[in-house]
């Protein structure tokens, strides 16, 4: 009882301006993780493939980009290298599944485990720091409140997300992109139409993990370091963004490009909620539990809606009878 009274006393001291001041940082992180969530959307929603590789490939992108920048390579070259490294991780998962016949979840777990050692080898140690003094960074936490819009990470990553959504919207409208979508929708019919579904699965996994690695590269620059454990729980954040975006914007955004945008918005909402929880002085150690509960609730919403609709139809049918 005393603990409850103490907590309510703490709530009385909360300052809304502190929450408003922290929101730009939450939005920045939401946008960065939104790119990762788009990668998760490709495998989870389009390909219907439960890919756990992302917990490792996000760190791979961060590690490769960080080491490239530390060694004097340009930002463009470092980001491309991160994307390619993520693509290789996706390739490994794809080959485990298509060539070796390993189930999707186990394929992702195997790659994720292997990437832990690979990421350590890339960085040389568990943690590598990076800052504006030793590298030319695209985004930085220090600029989150900058009045210069060209330095502010919110603007930079928002443009990056918009360009990514536009590029993917174009790609999935091509013949190859349509083949990827068809593979996820109906593999048997796709094979009947002459599509090599093994190839399209591998390509989708490479594209997905390439985007996840780009997100890791941006995250490492933003927070100023790459850490071998930075990807732990990434799949939960990605799923939360996908599910929140689908639940809140699924009926509004019918266009494929807008659905991708909804995923990014879902990621922003997720981080805004986490920031609100921290502002409410709740124990930060419970954030993982909160994340799991958020995902569970939003996963359950469509099921609850369908059950409610069936009950209404059943009552209507009984009345008509």
Return the axis-axis angle of helices 54-70 and 104-123, rounded to nearest 10°: 20
Nearest Cα to Cα of residue 217 among 109, 73, 96, 106: 73
Q: Which two tokens stand for residue 143?
A: 């600029």
d(Cα 303, Cα 298) in Å, to the nearest integer?
A: 9
Flag whether pLDDT at 8 surpasses 70: no
Enclosing H/E stretch for 274: helix 256-279
For residue 125, what is the DSSP state?
S
Instruction: Read off the pLDDT band of 299 (50, 70, 90).
Output: confident
Residue found by looking up tokens 């340009």 in the block: 74
For residue 127, what is the DSSP state?
E
Looking at residue 81, what is its pLDDT?
A: 97
d(Cα 118, Cα 56) in Å, to the nearest integer?
A: 9
**What is the pTM for the complete model shown?**
0.90
Q: Kindly report the backbone phi and psi dihedral angles of residue 128, in degrees, each rounded to the nearest multiple of 5, phi listed first.
A: -130, 125
The answer to which of 30-34, 242-246, 283-287 has the lowest mean pLDDT is 283-287
Flag whether pLDDT at 13 surpasses 80: no
For residues 289-294, give the mean pLDDT.
Answer: 78
Q: What is the tens place of the pLDDT at every residue in 93-117?
A: 999 999 999 999 999 999 999 999 9
Looking at residue 42, what is its pLDDT?
A: 95
The answer to which of 64-73, 168-177, 248-257, 279-288 has the lowest mean pLDDT is 279-288
Return the axis-axis angle of helices 256-279 and 234-249, rounded to nearest 10°: 110
Looking at residue 212, what is its pLDDT?
A: 97
Flag whether pLDDT at 321 surpasses 50: no
Q: What is the tens place of the pLDDT at every residue in 197-228?
A: 999 999 999 999 999 999 999 999 999 999 99
Mean pLDDT score of the chain, rounded to an integer?
88
CATH of domain 22-312: 1.10.3470
Q: What is the tens place of the pLDDT at every residue in 159-186?
A: 999 999 999 999 999 999 999 999 999 9
Looking at residue 275, what is its pLDDT?
A: 85
């Amino acid at each position: 009882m005393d603990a409850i009274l103490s907590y309510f006393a703490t709530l009385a001291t909360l300052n809304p301006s502190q929450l408003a001041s922290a929101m730009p940082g939450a939005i920045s992180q939401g946008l960065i993780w939104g790119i990762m969530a788009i990668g998760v959307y490709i495998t989870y929603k389009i390909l219907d493939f439960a890919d756990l590789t992302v917990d490792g490939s996000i760190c791979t992108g961060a590690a490769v980009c960080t080491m490239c920048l530390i060694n004097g390579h340009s930002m463009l070259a470092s980001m491309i290298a991160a994307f390619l490294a993520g693509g290789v991780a996706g390739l490994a998962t794809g080959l485990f599944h298509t060539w070796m016949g390993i189930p999707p979840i186990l394929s992702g777990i195997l790659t994720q485990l292997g990437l832990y050692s690979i990421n350590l080898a890339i960085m040389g140690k568990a943690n590598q720091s990076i800052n504006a003094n030793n590298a030319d960074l695209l985004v930085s936490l220090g600029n989150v409140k900058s009045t210069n819009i060209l330095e502010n990470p919110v603007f930079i990553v928002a443009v990056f997300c918009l360009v990514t959504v536009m590029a993917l919207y174009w790609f999935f409208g091509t013949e190859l992109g349509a083949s990827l979508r068809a593979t996820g929708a109906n593999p048997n019919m796709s094979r009947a139409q002459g599509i090599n579904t093994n190839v399209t699965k591998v390509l989708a996994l490479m594209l997905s993990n390439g985007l996840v690695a780009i997100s890791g590269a941006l995250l490492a620059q933003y927070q100023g370091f790459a850490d071998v454990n930075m990807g732990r729980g990434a799949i939960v954040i990605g799923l939360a963004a996908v599910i929140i975006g689908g639940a809140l914007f699924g009926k509004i955004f019918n266009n494929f490009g807008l659905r991708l945008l909804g995923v990014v918005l879902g990621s922003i909402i997720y981080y805004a909620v986490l920031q609100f929880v921290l502002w409410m002085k709740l124990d930060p150690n419970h954030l993982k539990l909160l994340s799991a509960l958020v995902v569970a609730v939003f996963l359950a919403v469509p099921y609850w809606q369908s059950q409610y609709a069936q009950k209404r139809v059943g009552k209507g049918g009984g009345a008509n009878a």
